[in-house]
Amino acid sequence: MTYPTEKKYPITQDYGITETTKLRGEEIYSFFDKKHPGIDIALPIGTPVYASLGGIVVSIEYHRGMGKVLRIRTGNLLHIYGHLDSFNKDFGDIVEEGELIARSGDTVSWTAPHLHFEIRDLSVWEVQERPFKPEFKDGLPVQYKKEFEYVCNHNEAIIDLAIKYYGREEGKNQLLENNSFLRDIHSHKPLEIGTKVLII
């Protein structure tokens, strides 16, 4: 997993319990047990941002806490790039590790301009337990799994899972290929709670 910028800019807030979370944990980080779920890297606005891992762009959105955000899925790992200025990729794009994906910004930033980088293990059930400390070293994180099982827990249809995990509606083809039992279910019909779907 590579650093998301060409050079190693300073980390202004680390993962976990920090001075900022001690001061504003209830306000900002209560969902993550008052922990900072990623790292903040001080960047001038417009700095190129690169994919730390190869994968599929599954989300490009405006987030009320992180501004412009791009998310990439690599197996069970979701890496998140927040406070961006502009995007170089689109939904469903396949990206390689080290490929240019965006430029940094200051959208909904609580401090000076920075990149919020976060990585989560989607195979962990509790959402607040999914983030883990990024380690930028050769190879994939130890948490990586090529495939994992998702258990439906609310009114999700095949089409919803296609967008969630593959970035596009066309991702339903991948879901059907890996889960033959879904082929007889309408793509917009909510799946039963507890339905287990293999994600690759």
Tens-digit pLDDT profile for residues 156-176: 999 999 999 999 999 999 999
Query: Residues 125, 154: one domain?
Result: no
Q: State whether 122 and 84 are in the same domain.
A: yes
Q: What is the mean pLDDT of residues 30-53?
A: 91
| CATH code for the domain in which residue 60 is found | 2.70.70.10
Query: Which residues lie closer than 8 Å to 48 by C-beta, 6 or more apart?
Result: 5, 6, 100, 102, 103, 104
Do both 69 and 159 map to the same domain? no
For 60, 71, 106, 189, 195, the CA distances from 45, given in Å and listed in that order, are: 19, 19, 7, 43, 44
Residues 67 and 97 in one domain: yes
Instruction: Identify the pLDDT of residue 131.
Output: 95
Q: Is the pLDDT of residue 33 over 80?
A: no
Q: Which residues contact 88 (CB under 8 A, 6 or more apart)?
A: 100, 101, 102, 103
Model confidence pLDDT, tens digit, residues 93-126: 999 999 999 999 999 877 789 999 999 999 998 8
Q: How many CB atoms lie within 10 A of CB 91?
A: 18
Number of domains in the chain: 2
CB 60 within 8 A of CB 88: no
The CB-side HSE value for 170 (13 A sphere, CA atoms) comes to 4
CA distances from 106 to 42, 109, 169 (A): 10, 5, 31
Decide if 6 is inside a domain.
no
Spatial distance between the Cα atoms of 78 and 59, rounded to a whole number of angstroms:
10
Residue 140, in any domain of the structure? no
Full domain range(s) for residue 77: 11-129
Alpha carbon 163 to chain centroid distance? 13
> In this structure, are 159 and 121 located in the same domain?
no
Is 98 found in the same domain as 41? Answer: yes
Asked if residue 135 belongs to a domain, the reply is no
Is the pTM higher than 0.85? The answer reads: yes
In a domain, 20, yes or no: yes
Stretch 15-39: mean pLDDT, rounded? Answer: 77
